[in-house]
Amino acid sequence: MKRILTIQDISCLGKCSLTVALPILSAMGHETVILPTAVLSTHTMFSGFTVKDLTDQLLPITQHWKSQGFTFDAIYTGYLGSEEEIEITKHIFKEFGSKDTLLFIDPVMADNGKLYPAFDMAYARKNAELCGLADIIVPNITEACFMTDSEYKTEYDEAYVLTLLNRLAKLGSKKVVLTGVSLSEGKTGVYGLDTISGETFHYQNDRIDASYHGTGDIFSSVSVGALLQGRSLHDAFKLAADYTARTIAVTQSNPEKPWYGVDFEATLPELVDACRS
């Protein structure tokens, strides 16, 4: 069994970050170790949410693991609360990273052209530094633009996507995968670049005209889980993209769907089946 450490917040209610990463990675057959960066009452798209910062806990917790001799097959980071937490995450990469540890970074901080409420440009620059240490990064187009000082566009062509990928490659990650890339009407998907071999891959599925919170976290969790099952980059991202799209479609058909997240609980059995095949 592979052991994955995931570092992100606990939004107690809101179906995102650790409350989706933990069930998804476990359902995919991996031991999932969590390092919560903060406890929020909800994710930050609600008004009036509470936050208990856990920065001072990160090193004591990881030092304890180190003293017990634990290692990880992957470290997967998502929403980190502050620049200081990014610095500590770099330290954790040094302590636990080896040539056999997959460092997977989802630089969660922005979408639809805007930074999330807790973040500013200094945070985006720090996140770009962290991305330089990764094996794989999976920013959306907005995050890519903030990290590479590029113009954010809602309408674009393949040349724009390749420019963003090449600018992301300069940050230093071995593989860069842009998410939410739409190159034809009614489609959305991922566009990846292996910065060492120069190979690219692209996968799209049908775009559903609705935006739900937490879908990026679902996509990343499935991607990490599938890579640790030994799937190729293309197969892992295809599984993640298909599962995310399917989950959004199932959510759409629920007349009582919550506004704040998707019904991944309804589709988890399908993910487990897909992992068996």
Stretch that binds ligand PXL, among 40-48, 93-101, 179-187, 230-238 (CB under 6 A): 40-48
Check if the beta carbon of residue 235 is closer than 8 Å to that of residue 226. yes
- What x/- string results for residues 180 through 219 when contact with ligand PXL is judged by CB under 6 A? ---------------------------------xx-xx--
The size of the interface with ligand PXL (CB under 6 A), counted in residues, is 15
DSSP letters spanning 193-231: EETTT--EEEEEEEPPS---TTHHHHHHHHHHHHHHTT-
Q: Assess 263 for contact with ligand PXL (CB under 6 A).
A: no
Contact (Cβ atoms closer than 8 angstroms) between residue 38 and residue 20: no
Chain-centre distance for alpha carbon 159: 24
* Residues in region 122-161 near ligand PXL by CB under 6 A: none
For residue 188, give the H/E element and its range.
strand 187-194
Measured CA to CA, the distance from residue 157 to residue 162 in angstroms comes to 9
Rounded Cα gap, residues 80 and 9, in angstroms: 7
Report the relative pairing of strands 110-111 and 175-181 from DSSP bridges.
unpaired
The contact pattern for ligand PXL, residues 77-106, with x = CB under 6 A and - = no contact, is: --x---------------------------
Contact between 46 and ligand PXL per CB under 6 A:
no
Among 32, 44, 148, 251, binds ligand PXL (CB under 6 A): 44
Q: How far is the CB of 141 from ligand PXL (least distance, A)?
A: 16
Closest approach, Cβ 14 to ligand PXL, in A, equals 7
The residue of the chain with the least Cβ separation from ligand PXL equals 44
Which of the residues 215 through 244 are near ligand PXL (CB under 6 A)? Answer: 216-217
